[in-house]
Amino acid sequence: MAWARKLLRVNLTDGTVSSEPLNMAWADQYLGQRGLASKYLVEEIDPRCDALGSDNKLIMATGPLTGTMASTGGRYSVITKSPLTGTIACSNSGGFIGAELKAAGWDMIIFEGRSPKPVYLYVENDQAQLLPANDLWGQSVWETDRLLHSKHQDPALRIACVGRAAEQGALICGVINDLHRAAGRSGVGTVMASKHLKAVAVRGTKGVGNLKDPIRFLKETEYRKRVLQQNAVTGQGLPTYGTQVLMNVINEMGALPTRNMREVKFEGAGNISGEAMHENRPGDGRPNLTTNAACFGCTIACGRISTVDQGHFSVKNKPKYWGSSGGLEYEAAWALGTDTGVDDLDAITYVNFLCNEDGLDPISFGATVAAAMELFKDGVITTEQTGGIDLQFGGAQALVTMAELTCRGEGFGRDLGLGSRKLCEKYGRPELSMTVKGQEFPAYDPRGIQGMGLTYATSNRGACHLRSYTVASEVLGIPVKTDPLVTEGKAELVKAFQDATAAVDSSGLCVFTTFGWSMEDIAPQIDAACEGDWSVDKLLEVGERVWNLERDFNLRAGLSAADDTLPKRLLTEPANTGPAQGRVADLGKMLPEYYQLRGWTADGELTQDTRTRLGL
Amino acid sequence: MTPIKLKLFSTLGAHLPPGAVRNCAEVEVASEATPHDVIVQYHLPEESVHLVLINGVYVAPADRSTRRLQAGDELAMWPPVAGG
| Interface contact A252-B7, CB threshold 8 A | yes
Compute the distance between CA of residue A583 and CA of residue A254 in angstroms, rounded to an integer. Answer: 11
Q: Which residues of B touch A511 (CB under 8 A)?
A: 84
- Smallest Cβ distance to A478: which of B22, B76, B82? B82
Segments forming the whole domain that contains residue B51: 2-65
- A334–B contact, CB cutoff 8 A: no
pLDDT tens, residue by residue, A236-251: 999 999 999 999 999 9
Q: Report DSSP state, residue B28.
A: E
Q: Which residues of A touch B16 (CB under 8 A)?
A: none
- Judge contact between A197 and A376, C-beta under 8 A: no
The CA distance from A303 to the nearest CA of chain B, in Å, is 11
Q: Is residue B40 part of a domain?
A: yes
Helix/strand/coil for A192? helix
Closest CA to A616 of A539, A534, A547, A540: A547
The mean pLDDT of A504-533, rounded to a whole number, is 97
Helices (H), A66-173: 97-103, 141-152, 164-167
Torsion of CA A267, A268, A272, A278, to 10 degrees: 90
Quickly list DSSP for A525-543: HHHHHSSS---HHHHHHHH
Q: Is residue B6 part of a domain?
A: yes
pLDDT at B84: 84
Q: Is residue B33 part of a domain?
A: yes
The mean pLDDT of A516-522, rounded to a whole number, is 98
Distance of CA A44 to the CA centre of its chain: 23
pLDDT value at A497 more than 70: yes
The CB density around residue A398, as the number of other CB atoms within 10 Å, is 22
| Interface contact B55-A276, CB threshold 8 A | no
The CB density around residue B22, as the number of other CB atoms within 10 Å, is 17
Domains and CATH numbers, chain A: 6-203 (3.60.9.10), 243-439 (1.10.569.10), 446-515+535-614 (1.10.599.10)
pLDDT at A71: 98
Compute the distance between CA of residue A434 and CA of residue A421 in angstroms, rounded to an integer. Answer: 8
Cβ contacts of A210 within 8 Å, gap of 6 or more:
A1, A2, A3, A4, A5
pLDDT at A209: 82
HSE-CB for A54 with a 13 A CA cutoff: 10
The mean pLDDT of A18-26, rounded to a whole number, is 98
- Judge contact between A509 and A75, C-beta under 8 A: yes
Q: Which residues of B touch A485 (CB under 8 A)?
A: none
Q: Is residue B74 part of a domain?
A: no
Sheet with B74-78: strands ordered across: B24-29, B2-8, B74-78, B51-54, B57-58
pLDDT value at A513 more than 70: yes
pLDDT tens, residue by residue, A326-356: 999 999 999 999 999 999 999 999 999 999 9
pLDDT value at A178 more than 80: yes
Helix/strand/coil for A91? strand
Compute the distance between CA of residue A393 and CA of residue A376 in angstroms, rounded to an integer. Answer: 9
| Interface contact B58-A232, CB threshold 8 A | no
Quote the ipTM score: 0.98
In angstroms, the Cα distances linking A118 to A15, A135, A142, A144, A504 are 11, 9, 17, 13, 34
Closest CA to A218 of A71, A3, A63: A71
The CB density around residue A603, as the number of other CB atoms within 10 Å, is 10
Q: Which residues of A touch B80 (CB under 8 A)?
A: 231-233, 236-237, 476
The CB density around residue A6, as the number of other CB atoms within 10 Å, is 14
Phi, psi of A572 (to 5 degrees): -130, -20
pLDDT at A252: 98
Compute the distance between CA of residue A535 and CA of residue A528 in angstroms, rounded to an integer. Answer: 11
Q: Which amino acid is at A312?
A: H
The mean pLDDT of A558-570, rounded to a whole number, is 98
Average model confidence (pLDDT) across chain A: 98
DSSP bridge pairs for A8: A19, A109
Residue B74: closest C-alpha in chain A = A252
The percentage of chain A sitting over the pLDDT mark of 90, rounded to a whole number, equals: 99
Compute the distance between CA of residue A161 and CA of residue A146 in angstroms, rounded to an integer. Answer: 12
Q: Number of structural domains, chain B? A: 1
| Interface contact A240-B10, CB threshold 8 A | yes
The mean pLDDT of A600-611, rounded to a whole number, is 98
Q: How far apart are the first and last CA of chain B?
A: 39
Q: Which residues of A touch B81 (CB under 8 A)?
A: 233, 237, 241, 245-246, 249, 476
pLDDT value at A608 more than 90: yes
- Judge contact between A84 and A186, C-beta under 8 A: yes
pLDDT tens, residue by residue, A370-422: 999 999 999 999 999 999 999 999 999 999 999 999 999 999 999 999 999 99
Q: Is residue B13 part of a domain?
A: yes
Burial A288-312, CB ≥16 within 10 A → b, else e: bbbebbbbbbbbbbbbbebbbbbeb
- Smallest Cβ distance to A248: which of B23, B57, B82? B23
pLDDT tens, residue by residue, A138-155: 999 999 999 999 999 999
pLDDT at B61: 96
pLDDT at A76: 98
By DSSP bridging, strand B74-78 and strand B2-8 are parallel
Name the maximum alpha-carbon separation found in chain B.
Answer: 39
pLDDT at A1: 60
The mean pLDDT of A50-64, rounded to a whole number, is 98
pLDDT tens, residue by residue, A222-235: 999 999 999 999 99
